[in-house]
Structure 1
Amino acid sequence: MAEIRIRNKNERISGEAEVRSFLEKQNVLYEHWDTSKLPANLVENFSLTDEDKQSLLSVYDAEIRDLAGRRGYKTWDIIALSESTPNLPELLKKFEQVHTHTEDEVRAITAGRGIFIIKGDEATGYFDVELSAGDVISVPEGQPHFFTLMDNKAIVAVRLFIEPAGWVADPYDDPAFVK
């Protein structure tokens, strides 16, 4: 279940209703999908074959299509990152810079853990959203943020896009951001 840390207050928010309420106020969509429907071979599996990825998309087909229909997403895929991912440190450097997008950044976590650091409203400032299996988040287009892995250095997520080009980041230089 997702947990939030508001950086400027070092305050934590937990519990599905509380997390959802906070994120709604920051214009961030949050949902939770049922991970009990995953076949055993996909639970905490971070080295997915193409067949595994297709199976994962099939398991969550109804949820993906529902979300895509509500929000206008046209394409989706699976990303799997772990210590076995070639050039993982270089890849993470690309993600770990504050940026924006011209469309929402959507992730449905199916295994592992990750964290979005998002710029909230003026009173809130930057906050962390710690995600685990079942958590679904959509950071709105234009909202400064970045993503990184947590201590386990492993995640699998469904990514949804409007544009077929997929993930395209626009750097966002913010002197107020401190890692």
Structure 2
Amino acid sequence: MAEIVIRNTNERITGEEAVQEFLAKQEVLYEKWDVTKLPEELRENFTLNDEQKAQVLSTFDSEIKDLAARRGYKIWDIITLSEATPNLEELLAKFEDVHTHTEDEIRAIVGGKGIFIIKGSDDLGYFNVELSPGDVISVPENTPHFFTLMENQQIVAVRLFIEENGWIAEHYDDPSFVKA
């Protein structure tokens, strides 16, 4: 279950209804997938091969196609990050740069944990969305944000794109942003 931390005040928002309400006010889509339908051997596997990635996509085929139909996504894939990922620190440094996209950035977490840091309204500032398996989030286009891993540094996520070239980020220079 996702939790929110308002960075300016350290306020924590918990509970599915409160999280959905907060994110809706920020125009961030939040949904849940049933990850218990994922085969046991894939639930905590952070080094998936191509066949296993295809199995994850097949398991969530109806959910993916539903999102694609509602929001115009054309392609999707699986990203896996863990201590076994070559150049993990370089990848995280790339992800941990505040940026925007010309399309929304959507992730469905099927294993592990991660955090989206999103810029809210001026009076709110940045907030963290701590994600767990089953959480689906879509950060609106042109919204400053970045993604990073939590302390366990393990995640498996489905990524969906409108742009057929996949993940394209534009750096967002924000002197008000302070890393935690």
TM-score (norm 1): 0.99
Q: Which residue of 2 aligns with 1:137?
A: 137
Show the 5 A alignment for 1:52-71: 52-71=52-71
Q: Which residue of 2 aligns with 1:32?
A: 32
Specify every segment of 5 or more residues in structure 2 that has no aligned partner in the other structure, as ranges.
Answer: none
Show the 5 A alignment for 1:1-179: 1-179=1-179
Partners in 1 of 2:155 and 2:23 — Cα distance? 22
TM-score (norm 2): 0.99
| Superposed CA offset, 1:100-124 (max 9, x none) | 0010100000000000000001121
| Greater than 4 Å deviation, 4+ residue runs | none
Q: How many residues align?
A: 179
Partners in 1 of 2:27 and 2:121 — Cα distance? 10
2:112 aligned partner, one-letter code: G
Partners in 2 of 1:20 and 1:67 — Cα distance? 17
Partners in 1 of 2:161 and 2:34 — Cα distance? 22
Q: Secondary structure at the match of 1:89?
A: helix
Partners in 1 of 2:40 and 2:147 — Cα distance? 27
Specify every segment of 5 or more residues in structure 1 that has no aligned partner in the other structure, as ranges.
Answer: none
Q: Secondary structure at the match of 2:173?
A: coil
By how many angstroms is 1:33 displaced? 0.4
1:3 aligned partner, one-letter code: E
Partners in 2 of 1:18 and 1:123 — Cα distance? 19
